[in-house]
Amino acid sequence: MPTSKSAKKNVRQDAVRRMRNRDKKSALRTQIKKFVLAVKKHDLEDAEKQLSLATKKLDKIAADNITHKKTASRKKSRLTKMLNKQKAASA
């Protein structure tokens, strides 16, 4: 338990930051699910739009140090690879 005034404030700030980070991660996971669903439906136009939004969210989360930048890069690569594989199959 914190005893000093500044330690108590840090606990409050950490709680707010933790919730903010959790919300951003949740929004990212939701966006990725929308992309995967669009790919599975073979809706390439919507999938490209969802990929763009997911990439934007990944970049933002990596810039805010919520996830590591290489983790974001790896996820973007895998999502793009998924879309390209679907495009090749439909062509």
The runs of H, that is alpha helices, within the chain are 5-40, 44-63, 69-90
Nearest to 54 by CA among 78, 37, 71, 29: 29
Instruction: Check if the beta carbon of residue 21 is closer than 8 Å to that of residue 62.
Output: no
What span, in angstroms and rounded, lies between the C-alpha atoms of 90 and 75?
A: 23
Which pLDDT tens digit goes with each residue over 52-80? 999 999 999 999 999 999 999 999 999 99
pTM: 0.89
- Tens digits of per-residue pLDDT, 26-62? 999 999 999 999 999 999 999 999 999 999 999 999 9
Delimit the domains of the chain by residue range.
5-90
Written out in words, the top-level CATH class of the domain with range 5-90 is mainly alpha
Q: How is residue 62 written in tokens? A: 């990596």
